[in-house]
Chains A and B, each alone.
Chain A
Amino acid sequence: MIRDIQSFKGDLLALGSQNLQLSFGAIGQGMRKLVPGFKHRLALTMALFIGIFAAAQHANAQLIIDVTISAGRQIPIAIAPFANELNAPQNITPVIINNLTRTGLFRMVNTGGLTQTPSEPSQVNFVDWSSRSAEALVIGSINPAADGKFEVRFRLFDVAKQNQITSVAYTVSASQLRATAHKISDEIYEKLIGEKGVFSTKIAYVLKRGSRFELQVADADGFNPQTVLASQEPIRSPKWSPDGNKIAYVSFESRKSTVIVQDLLTGQRKTIANFRGDNYAPNWAPDGRRLVVALSKDAVSQIYVISADGGDAIRITQSNSIDTNATFTADGSNIIFVSDRSGGPQLYKVPASGGTPTRMTFEGNYNVNPRVSSDGKLIAFVNRDASSRLRIATLELASNQMTILTEGPLDDSPSFSPNGRTILYESKSGGRGALGSVSVDGRVKSKLTSAAGDVREPAWGPYGSSPGSLTK
């Protein structure tokens, strides 16, 4: 196993990174007792520091990822270095290895020491791979094609059954090679795990550099960060439209909060809520035509629904309390929001057309910032405990079971991955903003930091959130 990791390190080093770190962390005694067969899996439990500064112009803004995986069922997979990869402007296999490793669902099998690295089916010796305990094998190649493009081929095999699961060929430009590595990762993930991968999706977050706020959009693995808005005043609460082409956010550029919708393809911005008082906490309806917002124009914060084009706001809640942090349920029929009508802030649910709210959370006296998973089964939110720790929690709607997923002390702004498996959140420590991610089963955790400043308020984009030409 240690050899596997060394070969993994070698793959990463092939990227030519000067900033790569890789280290192994041992798991605590308590965990050893909890996890049966732990000794065999000690090496699986690793803290993996992957710091890759690929594009020089983005070096300062790159997110650095640190993954912690607790032991559990992992599919042993061998990913053979793609033929001719070193002659291509972008390596493919290290990106696939990073992607699959970060999920915690795969164990990389050593691909070193082969007399011939297979890139065609005829070159695959299944007995070899079986003796290395691989259950799945990926082979591929990158070859020059017409018009300066590249043909990327890959094949995925079931080693035990000795048959091919899938094969895909892509003809792409050099600038699309990294995106192609994500597509291949998605293919492998979907075939072996049985659900859609999220490697080709985007994340948005706010980066605070000194006194400057930037709204950035990056690949799900933190690469290719692009600044879509910069301001000396705070930017807050970025939220993707369901089609992934727009982001709603709160801007303080007019020295008070207003809600703005920005088109990522055209760069066009539209202020949709600029009423007297505060205009904040936007969230899209599943239809992409309306948003729910918190406004203080008529009273203290109340919940309103407003068109994505602006116009009149329809009041949903009628209280003398603070009602805020609203989000639509997955089917759009209800709105979940935060209210302090019973004392501390708690989650409530109200029909999207208005009505009498019902309380949803009863544990603790501070539950805020709800988000609903795409399948509608789980709510992620922020719980503050008696010692003022802010932690990410989930509420399973069917069972009403509340689960605390993180340790705090300042975890905030949860956002589900589109496949509902992972929650991305803001994790502040020592006054410094970073992003954390945790699988909904709590088993896989990672942290993303930026050398450029504080990263905060992440929002995971939907499937297909990959606008080709982001405007500056």
Chain B
Amino acid sequence: MKKILIGFGLALVLAACASKDGGKDVKVDSKPVVPETSTSATPTTSGLGSTNVNGKTDPLKDPNNILSKRIIYFEYNQDTVKSEFTDVIQAHAKYLNDNRGRKIRLEGHADERGSREYNMALGQRRGEAVRRALTTLGVSADRIETVSFGEDKPRATGHDEAAWAQNRRVEVVYDGE
């Protein structure tokens, strides 16, 4: 029952994060986050916190753990968190709620197709969207710093949609990383 509530909470946050750009609002994916999806996508939810301290592998770095997924991608000119990233955000919220000492930084980025200085704002909006999703899931705001790099730290250096799609993103960075 708790998971159902979390799923719904996130869906509401995502809906509230719809882009304000240029009247070209793209609706948030309306597909509700069903409990089954949320349960199956976070297979290792139990005991995540405890394995971090004394366990053999750090779940944040375990490639088989969803927590190693740190990048949330966005559509052009949008700051709406797509439903395919719901599981990743839920997993990080769960980890942060289970590990109260950890803090994170959300680093927002934009592709090069915009004014350089205004792209700072777009990166910020994306970070802000992920931050709101996490706080709605119970993570306190003072444990999250949202910063933007605009377009100056691309993951891909090309100048086509394939590259731009990789560059429109928010990266989740834990303290000490």
B residues 144-162 with Cβ under 8 Å of A? 145-150, 152-153, 158-159
Given contacts A296-B146, A368-B115, A457-B116, 17 further A-B contacts (CB under 8 A): A234-B153, A252-B152, A257-B147, A276-B145, A277-B145, A277-B147, A278-B147, A280-B117, A294-B120, A294-B121, A296-B148, A324-B117, A338-B118, A343-B21, A366-B22, A390-B114, A456-B116
| Residue among B20, B112, B124, B145 making CB contact with A343, cutoff 8 Å | B20
Q: Which residues of A contact B (CB under 8 A)?
A: 234, 236-237, 252, 255-257, 276-278, 280-281, 294, 296, 300-301, 321-322, 324-325, 338, 340, 343-345, 365-366, 368-369, 382, 384, 388, 390, 410, 412-413, 426, 428, 430-431, 456-457
A412–B147 contact, CB under 8 A? no
In whole angstroms, how far apart are the Cα atoms of A5 and B22 in the complex? 49
Interface contact B149-A237, CB-CB below 8 Å: no
**A residues less than 8 Å from B120 (CB atoms):** 257, 278, 280-281, 294, 301, 324
> A260: shortest Cβ distance to chain B, in Å?
16
- Given A343-B20, A343-B21, A281-B117 contact (CB < 8 Å): yes
Please determine whether A368 and B118 come into contact, CB atoms closer than 8 angstroms.
Answer: yes
The answer to whether B116 touches A412, judged by C-beta atoms less than 8 angstroms apart, is yes
- Within the complex, the shortest CB–CB distance from A257 to chain B, in Å, comes to 7
Tell me the B126-177 residues at the A interface (CB within 8 Å): 128, 145-150, 152-153, 158-159
* B-chain residues with CB within 8 Å of residue A345 when the two chains form the complex: 118, 121
Among residues of B, the one whose C-beta sits closest to the C-beta of A343 is: B23
- Judging by beta carbons under 8 Å apart, are B20 and A256 in contact? no
Least CB separation from A276: chain B residue: B145
Q: Are B121 and A301 in contact (CB under 8 A)?
A: yes
CB distance from A320 to the nearest CB of B (A): 10
Bound-state CA distance A365–B124 (Å) is 20
B3 contacts partner chain A, Cβ-Cβ < 8 Å:
no
CB neighbours of A413 from chain B (8 A): 115-117
The 7 A-B residue pairs with the shortest CB-CB distance, nearest first, are A344-B22, A234-B152, A365-B22, A368-B118, A322-B121, A256-B147, A431-B159
| Interface assignment of B113: CB less than 8 Å from any CB of chain A | yes
Residues of A within 8 A of B149 (CB): 234, 252, 257
Q: Which residues of B contact A382 (CB under 8 A)?
A: 115, 118
A319 shortest CB reach to chain B, Å: 11
> How many residue pairs between the two chains, A and B, have CB atoms under 8 Å in the bound complex?
99
**Interface membership of B125, Cβ < 8 A:** yes
Give the CA-CA distance A398 to B118 in the complex, in Å.
26
| A344 in complex: contacting residue of B21, B124, B128, B146, CB < 8 Å | B21
Closest to A281 in B: B117
Chain A's closest residue to B157 (CB) is A431
Q: How far is the CA of A237 from the CA of B151 in the complex (A)?
A: 13
A245 to B112, CA, bound (A): 32
Contacts of B150 in A (CB 8 A): 234, 236
* B113: A residues at CB distance < 8 A: 388, 410
Contacts of A236 in B (CB 8 A): 116-117, 150, 152
Contact A340 B116, CB 8 Å, known A236-B152, A277-B146, A278-B147: no
* Chain A residue at smallest Cβ distance from B121: A322
* CB neighbours of A384 from chain B (8 A): 114-115
Residues 38 to 89 of chain B near chain A (Cβ within 8 Å): none
From A276, A296, A369, give the contact of B124 (CB < 8 A): A296
Collect the chain B residues with CB atoms within 8 Å of residue A368's CB. 115, 117-118
Query: Do B116 and A324 touch (CB < 8 A)?
Result: no
Q: How far is the CB of A60 from chain B (nearest CB, A)?
A: 21
A-B contact pairs, 18 of them (CB 8 A): A234-B149, A236-B117, A236-B150, A256-B145, A257-B148, A277-B146, A278-B120, A280-B117, A338-B118, A343-B20, A343-B21, A343-B23, A345-B121, A365-B22, A366-B22, A413-B117, A430-B159, A457-B116
> Among the interface residues A255, A322, A369, which one has the most CB atoms of the partner chain B within 10 A?
A322
Whole-angstrom CA separation of A122 from B120 in the bound complex? 63
Q: Across the two chains, which residue of chain B brings its CB closest to A457?
A: B116
Q: How far is A384 from B105 in the complex, measured between Cα atoms in Å?
A: 31
Give the residue name and chain of the A residue nearest to B128 (CB). A300
| Assembly CA distance A279 to B27 (angstroms) | 31
Closest CB of chain A to B75's CB: distance in Å?
14
Q: Are B23 and A322 in contact (CB under 8 A)?
A: no
Q: Are B116 and A325 in contact (CB under 8 A)?
A: no
Please state if B125 and A300 are interface contacts (CB–CB under 8 Å): yes
B32 to chain A, nearest CB (A): 27
In the complex, how many angstroms separate the beta carbon of A366 from the nearest chain B beta carbon? 6
> Known interface pairs A426-B116, A456-B116. Does A343 touch B125 (Cβ–Cβ under 8 Å)?
no
B20 nearest CB across to chain A (Å): 5
Q: Is the CB of B20 within 8 A of A300?
A: no
The CA of A382 and the CA of B119, in the complex, are separated in Å by 13
B114 proximity list for chain A (CB < 8 A): 384, 390
Q: How far is the CA of A280 from the CA of B120 in the complex (A)?
A: 8
